[in-house]
Chains A and B, each alone.
Chain A
Amino acid sequence: MYAFEIERPSTIADAVNALKSEDAQALGGGQTLIPTLKQRLAMPASLVSLTGIGEMQGVCLGDAGEVCIGGATTHATVAREAAAHYPGLAGLASHIGDPAVRNRGTIGGSLANNDPSACYPAAALGSGATIITNVREIAADDYFQGMFTTALDEGEVITEVRFPVPEKANYQKFVQPASRFALVGVFVAKYADGVRVAVTGASEEGVFRWSEAEAALSGDFSAAALDGLSVPADGMISDLHGSSAYRAHLVKVITGRAVTAAG
């Protein structure tokens, strides 16, 4: 790692201020950022730790019944505290990384990083969540802008994420065997006004909505509804762990399984 200072503000305002200094970078749980720093792939002058900010912690219910999660809330906390309100989301959180990673990694960190194989982007996009920052609210549909790219501006901090709670939802992850990230992960959520299907791990563009499946499932929420559909291999990731054709195939299989598991 290159040398840097770490600041530990206790309010969002202080964090935002600290992030204004040159080459400052936000530090969530660090579960992705720290390994990146070890490889000297990033050279921040300072890291602004968000984990000590009380107002960015925890899970609660909003006025419209949505689940509101502070940006610095760990995966373990979401798995525990969202279980009663949004089991599909809690289930996803309970399978990110491993137990020790879940005790540090945060939802805000995951969404800000937007790793193309991360789980949370699928939940946020699949739920039509709203990403709240220190300056604005961003709809999930506008937030994800390709692999490791988001709508966040420099110095902008995810303070909260609001998830409308669906009638049914489920996330299925077919893991890349080494990293245990998603080779293909699919989040399906059935809302009164339709079904959302978000796919992570598969596409070179990062998380995406599979609109044909959404249309089919909105009419008939069953795995059989997917029968005639297929996902083109074009644009899917191809690497050591699977070809683009394999990933495209898995998208359909895993979507079907998520629908079945959602019940």
Chain B
Amino acid sequence: MASVAMTVNGKSVSGDVEGRTLLVDFLRNDLRLTGTHVGCDTSQCGACVVHVNGEAVKACTMFAVEADGAEVATIEGQANADGSLNVIQQAFQDHHGLQCGFCTPGMVMSAAALLKDNPKPTEGEIRAYLEGNICRCTGYHNIVKAIMAASGQDVATIAAE
């Protein structure tokens, strides 16, 4: 067992983990932050995307001890301080960018990482960026639209219905 300490959503946390404990398991099982999901075991679906030191990573493909000392951000820390949805979250609701909700935390975290580097991405850039985030419900239409809207772009011309 190894001791790990990190900052998660601005709060200092620590715990004892095995070498093989994945970051996602530490978040879900030890910290009970169950918003980060696991949808595959080959590092492809992206339901587990969190930010480590400001960068999007797949929490299912990183060991908890590798995040020792890191700043980790998860979906649970994304809303505004008053609990209201942040700009990206609100755009996902406004544009129906989610259905079952299982891929959604990873989508939101990936979208946040994209917009940090590229504040006004094109449709093509968004689709390319989401290569590592699989959604089975939405057909991506409204996810792409929501991310464009979150970046302040006019999406009125994209068919709403």
Contact = CB atoms under 8 A, between A and B. Distances in A.
Nearest to A97: B132
A8 B66 contact: yes
Interface stretch (A100-108, A131-139, A252-260): A100-108
Given A3-B19, A49-B66, A100-B49, A38 B41 contact: yes
A76 B55 contact: yes
Interface in A8-23: 8
Nearest to B48: A100
A253 B46 CA distance: 32
B contact patch SS: mixed
Contacts of A30: 61-63, 66
A101 B129 CA distance: 11
B138 to A, nearest CB: 18
B20 interface: yes
Contacts of A154: none
Q: Which of A47, A76, A104 has the most CB of B within 10 A?
A: A104
A97 B132 CA distance: 8
B127 to A, nearest CB: 12
Nearest to A94: B128
Given A30-B63, A35-B41, A180-B131, A100 B19 contact: no
A46 B63 CA distance: 13
A47 B66 CA distance: 11
Contact of B2 (A6, A97, A101, A103): A6
A97 B56 CA distance: 13
A65 interface: no
Interface string B41-68: 1111010010000011110111101101
A104 B62 contact: yes
B71 to A, nearest CB: 14
Nearest to B18: A3
Contact of B66 (A35, A51, A76, A179): A51
A4 B113 CA distance: 32
Given A6-B66, A34-B61, A35-B61, A100 B20 contact: no
B110 interface: yes
A39 B41 CA distance: 9
B58 to A, nearest CB: 5
B65 A100 contact: no
Nearest to A76: B55
B20 A3 contact: yes
A167 interface: no
Interface in B41-100: 41-44, 46, 49, 55-58, 60-63, 65-66, 68
Interface string B92-118: 000000000000000000100110000
A104 B57 contact: yes
B132 A35 contact: no
Contact of B114 (A5, A31, A76, A99): A99
A104 B58 contact: yes
Interface string A46-61: 1101010000000000
Contacts of B44: 98, 179
B26 to A, nearest CB: 13
Contact of B65 (A3, A6, A103, A179): A6
10 contacts: A6-B2, A30-B62, A31-B43, A35-B43, A38-B41, A99-B56, A99-B129, A100-B46, A100-B110, A103-B55
Given A34-B22, A98-B44, 7 more contacts: A46-B19, A47-B63, A99-B56, A99-B129, A100-B110, A101-B132, A104-B58
Closest 8 CB pairs of A and B: A98-B132, A1-B20, A98-B131, A6-B19, A103-B55, A100-B56, A34-B61, A5-B19
